[in-house]
């Protein structure tokens, strides 16, 4: 997929996730683009894989581009950034999971940032409260 097609598809998925879930998450987008399998994601969450980028079926420059596009389209929609902690599933001491081999903070933050539609969530909470 070339960069222009990737931009269109990421934009479509950002809108879709915002509508269906009220938030946008880079990991969900990677799964929806078929660059990350659900099985590989689960193995990473259970700590069987050292870092998430290792099992993504795309090169690092495209992964960087996807993260930038997610951020661009999410901020264009007025979604708010919210950092999320990804900890290892299972029993025992909770360990923070890594997204990249380097572990650089900027890269880790790009993957762990969710974009939330706070206005829509507030509206849904108000509707629930009035029921």
Q: What is the pLDDT of residue 130?
A: 64
Q: Read off the tokens for 75.
A: 């901020």
What averages of pLDDT result for each successive group of 10 residues across the chain (131 residues)? Answer: 94 95 95 97 95 96 96 95 93 90 94 88 60 60
User: What DSSP string describes 58-110?
Assistant: S-HHHHHHHHHHHHHHHHHTTPEEEE---B--SSSS--B-BSSSS--HHHHHH
Q: What is the pLDDT of residue 99?
A: 97
Q: What is the pLDDT of residue 127?
A: 58
Domain range annotation of the chain: 3-130
Q: What is the pLDDT of residue 93?
A: 82
Q: Give pTM, 2 decimals.
A: 0.87
If 0-12 CB within 10 Å is exposed, 13-18 middle and 19+ buried, where does residue 10 land?
A: buried
- What angle separates helix 60-76 from helix 105-112, to the nearest 10 degrees? 50
Instruction: With beta carbons less than 8 A apart as the criterion, state whether 97 and 87 touch.
Output: yes
Bridge partner residues of 23 (DSSP): 116
pLDDT digits (tens, 9 = 90+) for 58-76: 999 999 999 999 999 999 9
Q: Compute the distance between CA of residue 7 and CA of residue 13 in angstroms, rounded to an integer.
A: 10
């Amino acid at each position: 997929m070339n960069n222009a097609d990737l931009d269109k598809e990421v934009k479509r998925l950002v809108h879709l996730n915002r509508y269906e879930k009220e938030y946008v998450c880079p990991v969900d987008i990677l799964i929806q683009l078929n660059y990350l399998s659900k099985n590989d994601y689960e193995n990473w969450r259970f700590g069987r894989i050292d870092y998430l980028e290792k099992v993504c079926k795309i090169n690092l420059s495209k992964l960087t581009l996807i993260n930038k596009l997610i951020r661009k389209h999410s901020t264009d929609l007025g979604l708010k950034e919210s950092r999320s902690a990804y900890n290892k599933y299972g029993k025992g001491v909770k360990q923070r999971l890594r997204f990249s081999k380097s572990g650089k903070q900027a890269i880790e933050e790009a993957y762990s940032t969710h974009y939330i539609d706070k206005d829509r969530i507030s509206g849904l909470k108000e509707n629930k409260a009035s029921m």
